[in-house]
Structure 1
Amino acid sequence: MALADHLRELRTRFLVSVVAIALGCIPGWLLYPYLLTKLSEPITAAGGQLNFQGLMTGFSVQLLVALMVGIIVASPVWVYEVWAFIVPGLTKKEKWTALAFLSSAVPLFLAGCGIAYLILDKAVAIMLSFVPAEQLNIMPAADYLVFVTRFIVAFGLAFLLPVLLVALNMVGVLPAALMLRCWRIAVIVIFVLSALITPTPDAVTMFFLAVPMVVLYFAACGVAFGLDRRREKQRPEWADLADDEAGPL
């Protein structure tokens, strides 16, 4: 397609994703009291307290919680839209492979969000452990919910790493051999990104994110090798001939 067509396609897919997230915000808005109680448990259990300071704080916090739920609930839609934009023009067999792998993308995203929620209390406890025992930690509710949202969504997005790698392999940008040859660099980059993505400076949280990402990276390498091998078998005999060399016929 021409550049203008690509831009129009990007605009359409972006709008579809935004509408899906907006619809997904509805249950988050309706379930806000329950969700706020569950999300604030780590800080209250560690002796902290949320403070709703300011006239608009209550509204902004409820909107932030609803947005996080919308991103999670609408993940099947926006993950598909991203995949469909990155990997266009697939053959029939490749589309089945893409559909099979895409069906694992949403569980991967949800698994990342779930792991983040499970270790949220540990991350909060580590941060609050630096507060002197005789002092109180009264945290602004907006700051805490921004921290929680970034923490959970970052884990979910990080778990989509194999989807991105396989997508790049399917369009011919990232061969499997190159992925495996650069595994040492990839592991270092993963640990650095994990340290940057996680909003806490402790090494425990970083390892909780980095180790699964390394495993998913090698899983993506395995899938990419299978795709490369199948494409190699389907190549015609004349594909490697020079332009001035006669073919088998």
Structure 2
Amino acid sequence: MVTEEMSVVDHLHELRKRLIIIIAFVSVAAIITYDKVYYLIKILLVPIAKYNLELVYFSLTEGFTTRMEISLFIGVIVTSPVILYQVAAFINPGLTKKEKKFLYKNIFFVSILFFGGLIFGYTLTLPYTLSFLISYGQGYMTPLLSGSTYFNFIGVFCFLTGIMFLIPYLIVLLSKISLLSSSKLKKWRKYVIIFILTLEGLFISNAGLLTCTLIAAPILLLYEISIWIVYFIEKRKEIIK
């Protein structure tokens, strides 16, 4: 009984250690970004440059909070490899030697895919999405963009695009080491939907139903495809046995 209690305490100490490291790295990155945020804002305004739109704010604190949100978001993105490593280090004691090797080997590929998804979302998908939404609305309304809504939209859009690139890869990896199964994925489907909709509600609640659907649909579709990939992998294993 004492051993179990000590084990739990040690586990909590390890969790605290990993969280402190993550918070420290994200904070430093966010502080550096905050100082240079205007250069970043110029880059983020490129997708709407041809529309000659000016961003506005509707509350006295919006300018400050928007700058803070951008800095924090970039801090998380830049330090995402560190975050992944700390998560891996936390679950490391519960894995076998083979599983540890497998996990650390794939952190690099996960990071590359995530950053690739961000770049893909910003350079290829985002301009077309913004063009469609702005052009569609201009048919009967004059666009007036809130700065916080615009930057939050870009952040969530690119982040979810990065996640889209990871979903099939991560799910297949976890299924290969028997940490996930198609039945579990089906069971979690409703929670994934709730999570995506909640994330959109927090950051782009003013974007409208169509925009939220355009962002959420590809992710949910990839999740569904991943379920079937894992299902066929399981069936193949059963045949081999």
The TM-score with structure 1 as length reference comes to 0.69
Q: Which residue of 2 aligns with 1:166?
A: 173
Q: Return closer, same or farther for 1:71/1:55 CA change in 2, 3 Å cut-off.
A: same
Please report how far the alpha carbon of residue 47 of structure 1 lies from its aligned counterpart in structure 2 after TM superposition.
5.0
> Does structure 2 retain, via aligned residues, the 8 Å contact 1:190–1:210?
no
Please report how far the alpha carbon of residue 58 of structure 1 lies from its aligned counterpart in structure 2 after TM superposition.
2.3
Give 1 or 2: higher helix fraction: 2
- Equivalent runs, 1:80-91 vs 2, <5 Å: 80-91=85-96
- Equivalent runs, 1:106-145 vs 2, <5 Å: 106-118=111-123, 119-133=125-139, 135-145=141-151
Please report how far the alpha carbon of residue 19 of structure 1 lies from its aligned counterpart in structure 2 after TM superposition.
1.0
Larger-gyration structure (1/2): 1
The percentage of aligned residue pairs carrying the same residue is 23
Q: Which residue of 2 aligns with 1:157?
A: 163
Q: Which residue of 2 aligns with 1:243?
A: none
1:54 to 56, 59, 68: 59
**1:67 and 2:84 are equivalent in the alignment:** no
Please report how far the alpha carbon of residue 36 of structure 1 lies from its aligned counterpart in structure 2 after TM superposition.
0.8
**Any unmatched runs of 5+ in structure 2?**
none
Structure 2 CA distance, aligned partners of 1:77 and 1:132? 43
**1:92 and 2:91 are equivalent in the alignment:** no
Structure 2 CA distance, aligned partners of 1:98 and 1:222? 22
Match of 2:157, as an amino acid?
Answer: F
Please report how far the alpha carbon of residue 32 of structure 1 lies from its aligned counterpart in structure 2 after TM superposition.
1.3
Match of 1:155, as an amino acid?
Answer: T
Q: Which residue of 2 aligns with 1:237?
A: none
Match of 1:121, as an amino acid?
Answer: P
Q: Which residue of 2 aligns with 1:244?
A: none
- Equivalent runs, 1:17-56 vs 2, <5 Å: 17-46=22-51, 48-56=53-61
Structure 1 CA distance, aligned partners of 2:234 and 2:71? 37
Structure 1 CA distance, aligned partners of 2:224 and 2:45? 30
Q: Return closer, same or farther for 1:91/1:113 CA change in 2, 3 Å cut-off.
A: same
> Does structure 1 retain, via aligned residues, the 8 Å contact 2:157–2:215?
no
CA RMSD in angstroms comes to 4.0
Please report how far the alpha carbon of residue 20 of structure 1 lies from its aligned counterpart in structure 2 after TM superposition.
1.1
Count the aligned residue pairs. 224
Structure 2 CA distance, aligned partners of 1:30 and 1:210? 36
SS of the residue corresponding to residue 137 of structure 2 reads: coil
Structure 1, 76-85 or 53-62: larger mean CA deviation: 53-62
Please report how far the alpha carbon of residue 76 of structure 1 lies from its aligned counterpart in structure 2 after TM superposition.
0.9
Match of 2:120, as an amino acid?
Answer: I
**Any unmatched runs of 5+ in structure 1?**
233-249
Structure 1 CA distance, aligned partners of 2:118 and 2:194? 17
SS of the residue corresponding to residue 50 of structure 1 reads: coil
Structure 2 CA distance, aligned partners of 1:193 and 1:5? 33
Match of 1:32, as an amino acid?
Answer: V
